Structure formats: C-alpha cells, structure tokens
Amino acid sequence: MEIIYLLIPVSLILLGLIVWILMWAVRDGQYDDLEGPAYRILMDEDRIVGRDPKADNKAADPALQENEQQAAERAKK
C-alpha cells in the first residue's frame, strides 16, 4: 500500500510532462498542416514552370559525372 504514495506523484509528474510536450508541439506548429504532406507525395515536381529545360545540367553533380565516366569507360571495353 505504501507504493501508492510513490506511484501517484510519479504518474502526475509524467502526466504533466506529456501535457507540456503536447502544448509545445501545438505552439510550435507541428499540427498546422496535417493533409499537406500526404498530398505533397502525390504531386509531380518533375517540371518547374518557368525553367529552361536546356539549362538543366545533369553533369553538375560530381557523383553523377563520375558514374557517367565509369559507364563510358566500361562501354569502350
């Protein structure tokens, strides 16, 4: 029965901590847009309006450039 004197304050402290974390998340804007991320994954972002497709340079990425060079060397062999 003496354990109840320990469990009640511990549970109240835990409850207060959970409520504080919830209030912090609400004030920080974690729950502002619940549907946006679900729809964002479905949006097609391949083409950006107003960009010149010729200006896109795939070889600007050094890792991609290196992979292309290795593929070209393998193709020569």
Question: pLDDT tens digit string along 6-31?
Answer: 999 999 999 999 999 999 999 998 88
Distance CA 38, CA 40 (A): 6
Residues 6+ apart with CB under 8 A from 47: 53
The tally of CA atoms less than 13 A away on the side-chain side of residue 40 is: 5
What pLDDT digit, counting tens, does each position of 56-77 carry? 555 466 767 777 888 888 888 6
Q: Could you give the CA distance from residue 60 to residue 2 in angstroms, rounded to a whole number?
A: 69
Domain residue limits, the chain? 1-40
> Could you give the CA distance from residue 10 to residue 42 in angstroms, rounded to a whole number?
45
pLDDT score at 3: 95
- Residue pair 43/49 in contact (Cβ under 8 Å)? The answer is no
